[in-house]
């Protein structure tokens, strides 16, 4: 147990003068001096009690700046951040210095936290949805889903930080830093997958070594009791902070260069990548570049113990925009997350034949749609119909199909007319009926009602389905099922 004089002996001279200045603070100098001497002479009190007593005394004398000095010292010694809310400080609650402590230690409502939690929720949801999609590239979606998930975890951490919950949930210390070295590998292998249909090799496990090393490095910290972690949070003690921040930045820079190199490298000749997918990849490269730059700023501020300001928030904003962009794209353009289409040699039509096909109909001679773009949109449309099966959407319209293609209604109509010889409704009906015929021939659909088949292929009612089916096959769906299913 330390005496009052022992405690004060370790303070700086300025703090020591605070302790003895009670005798000169007001007209009751003699009485105050005796009080101070009683406090200092009580050998049973430790430093924590003395800090608490001085904080109360200065608050009582309406000296907020001096009171706040001892409030912080008490918190640092007792680890009780709720001490700020003690009713003894009501007399100084309007002072700027006290408001600063309230903002620093007590739970706060912060609109930045609301934004972080909203973005995190969207990110968590999309990370799951991406991996539930049918007819998609599972590996690519796992990589992108994990990337979004990690960023959503960071947004959750920042939400807790803005609301001061790090003092109330000390076990979150370094919790979201565990996978700091996974951001680069995830986005790098995602690009390799979507541009080259890359298949993982055993040697790729080496990319996990930095993460394994980081987990081993921080493992002793994770095992610390909550009280010790809280002490580290209050005193801003972050083991290996500089090492982790600098290493992560180096990792991001290295993988950033690899991502750009992969992006500009021509894709495999037998892979079809639509223009919309190419734009998506370009935008992700841009977001990643901004992310690396913002992290460099964030890391410097973090190591300098600066946890606020416009520059500090740039990292949060860049990650929020990236998560929202991926989420938006996942729902507006789901084809971006589909399987890469492998174009076989027998499926490739000679350029001369394609040009004849495009110029076949004079109706669009004055259209601004070039031959190359027309062929690109045709391939993309085939992908949407065969792989994504967009015709199954009962609310599909020419406008929605145009948005999926990333072009105008006029161009979409022209593509359908010139390359398929049909209008939009005829094209959708054709693919719906073809799909219905496949389902009707499968035994597992034998006991299904016709209306269920209709709903499955995109129709809203049985009458329209029967009418369209009979138009294409001269028999009703029921008759077709009886004929082809034993």
Tens digits of residue pLDDT in 394-440: 888 888 888 888 888 888 888 888 888 888 888 998 899 988 888 88
Q: Where in the chain is the domain with CATH 1.20.1070?
A: 111-342
pTM of the model: 0.61
Neighbours of 303 (CB within 10 A): 14
CB within 8 Å of 103: residues ≥ 6 apart: none
Percent of the chain with pLDDT over 90: 29
Topology of 111-342 in CATH? Rhopdopsin 7-helix transmembrane proteins (1.20.1070)
79-109 pLDDT, tens digit each:
899 999 998 998 898 999 999 999 999 998 8
Instruction: Compute the half-sphere exposure of residue 356: CA atoms within 13 Å on the CB side of its CA.
Output: 5
Query: How far apart, in whole angstroms, are the C-alpha atoms of residue 116 and residue 160?
Result: 9
Predicted confidence at residue 377, as pLDDT, reads: 85
Q: What's the mean per-residue pLDDT of the chain?
A: 80
CA distance 315 to 301: 11
For residue 442, which of 393, 473, 486 has the smallest C-alpha distance?
A: 486
Residue whose pair of structure tokens reads 């749609």 in the numeric block:
369
Nearest by Cα to 338 from 125, 145, 140, 148? 140
CATH of 385-484, one of 1.10.10.60, 3.90.1150.10, 3.40.190.10, 3.20.20.100: 1.10.10.60
pLDDT reading at 148 higher than 60? yes
Q: Where in the chain is the domain with CATH 1.10.10.60?
A: 385-484
Residue whose token pair is 């962009």 = 325
* CA count, 13 A, side-chain hemisphere, 360: 16
Q: What are phi and psi of 435, to 5 degrees?
A: -65, -40
Average pLDDT over residues 296-317: 82
Q: CB of 367 within 8 A of CB of 412?
A: no
pLDDT band per the 50, 70, 90 thresholds, residue 253:
very high
Closest CA to 184 of 277, 246, 257, 286: 257
Residue 281, CA distances (Å) to 196, 356, 363 in order: 13, 32, 35
Please tell me the least confidently modeled range out of 130-144, 166-180, 245-259, 417-431: 130-144
**Cα–Cα distance for residue pair 247/136, rounded to 1 Å:** 34
Q: What is the C-alpha to C-alpha distance for residues 81 and 105, in angstroms, rounded to an integer?
A: 6
Phi, psi for 458 (deg, rounded to 5): 115, -5
Report how far residue 69's alpha carbon sits from residue 55's, in angstroms, rounded to the nearest whole number. 8
The b/e string for 148-172 (b: 16+ C-beta within 10 A; e otherwise) is bbbbbbbbbbbbbbbbbbbbbebeb
pLDDT, tens only, 230-249: 999 998 888 888 899 899 99
Return the structure tokens found at 140: 């690519």
Q: Quick one: three-class SS letters along the chain? A: CCCHHHHHHCCCHHHHHHHHHHHHCCCCHHHHHHHHHHHHHCCCCCHHHHHHHHHHHHHHCCCHHHHHHHHHHHHHHHCCHHHHHCHHHHHHCCCHHHHHHHHHHCCCCCHHHHHHHHHHHHHHHHHHHHCCCCCECHHHHHHHHHHHHHHHHHHHHHHHHHCCCCCCCHHHCCHHHCCCCCHHHHHHHHHHHHHHCCCCCHHHHHHHHHHHHHHHHHHHHHCCCHHHHHHHHHCCCCCCHHHHHHHHHHHHHHHHHHHHHHHHCCCCCCEECCHHHHHHHHHHHHHHHHHHHHHHHHHHHHHCCCCCCHHHHHHHHHHHHHHHHHHHHHHHCHHHHECCEECCHHHCCCHHHHHHHHCCCHHHCCCCCCHHHHHHHHHHHHHHHHHHCHHHCCCCCHHHHHHHHCCCHHHHHHHHHHHHCCCHHHHHHHHHHHHHHHHHHCHHHCCCCHHHHHHHHCCCCHHHHHHHHHHHHCCCHHHHHHHHCC
pLDDT of 217 over the 70 cut? yes
Asked whether the predicted pLDDT for residue 372 surpasses 80, the reply is no
Distance in angstroms (rounded) separating the CA atoms of residues 412 and 87: 70
């Amino acid at each position: 147990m330390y005496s009052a004089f022992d405690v004060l002996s370790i303070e700086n001279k300025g703090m020591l003068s605070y302790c003895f200045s009670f005798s000169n603070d007001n007209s009751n100098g003699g009485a105050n001096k005796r009080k101070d001497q009683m406090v200092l002479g009580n050998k049973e009190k430790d430093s924590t009690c003395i800090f608490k007593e001085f904080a109360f005394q200065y608050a009582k004398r309406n000296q907020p700046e001096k009171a706040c000095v001892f409030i912080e010292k008490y918190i640092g010694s007792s680890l009780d951040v709720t001490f700020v809310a003690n009713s003894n400080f009501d007399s100084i609650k309007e002072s700027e210095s006290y408001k600063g402590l309230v903002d620093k230690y007590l739970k706060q409502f912060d609109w930045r936290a609301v934004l972080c939690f909203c973005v995190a929720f969207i990110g968590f949801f999309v990370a799951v949805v991406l991996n539930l999609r049918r007819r998609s590239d599972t590996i690519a979606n796992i990589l992108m889903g994990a990337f979004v998930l990690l960023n959503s975890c960071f947004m959750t951490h920042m939400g807790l930080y803005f609301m001061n919950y790090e003092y109330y949930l000390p076990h979150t210390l370094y919790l979201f830093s565990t996978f700091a070295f996974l951001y680069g590998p995830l986005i790098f292998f995602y690009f390799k997958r979507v541009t080259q249909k890359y298949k993982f090799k055993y040697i790729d496990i080496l990319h996990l070594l930095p993460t394994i090393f980081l987990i081993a490095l921080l493992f002793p910290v994770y095992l610390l009791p909550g009280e010790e972690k809280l002490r580290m949070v209050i005193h801003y003690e972050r083991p290996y902070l500089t090492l982790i921040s600098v290493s992560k930045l180096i990792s991001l820079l290295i993988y950033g260069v690899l991502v750009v190199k992969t992006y500009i490298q021509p894709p495999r000749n037998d892979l079809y990548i639509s223009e919309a997918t190419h734009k998506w990849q370009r935008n992700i490269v841009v977001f990643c570049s901004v992310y690396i730059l913002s992290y460099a700023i964030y890391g410097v501020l973090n190591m300098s113990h600066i946890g606020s300001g416009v520059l500090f928030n740039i990292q949060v904003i860049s990650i929020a925009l990236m998560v929202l962009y991926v989420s938006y794209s996942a729902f507006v353009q789901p084809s971006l997350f589909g399987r890469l289409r492998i174009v076989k040699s027998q499926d490739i039509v000679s350029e001369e034949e394609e040009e004849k096909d495009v110029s076949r109909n004079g109706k669009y001679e004055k259209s601004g749609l070039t031959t190359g773009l027309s062929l690109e949109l045709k391939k993309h449309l085939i992908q949407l119909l065969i792989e994504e099966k967009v015709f199954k959407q009962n609310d599909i319209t020419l406008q929605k199909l145009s948005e999926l293609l990333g072009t105008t209604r006029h161009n979409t109509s022209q593509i359908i007319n010139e390359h398929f010889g049909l209008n939009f409704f005829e094209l959708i009906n054709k693919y719906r009926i073809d799909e219905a015929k496949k389902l009707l021939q499968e035994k597992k659909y034998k006991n299904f009602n016709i209306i269920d088949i209709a709903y499955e292929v995109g129709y809203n009612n049985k009458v329209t389905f029967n009418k369209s089916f009979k138009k294409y096959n001269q028999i009703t769906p029921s008759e077709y099922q009886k004929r082809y299913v034993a």
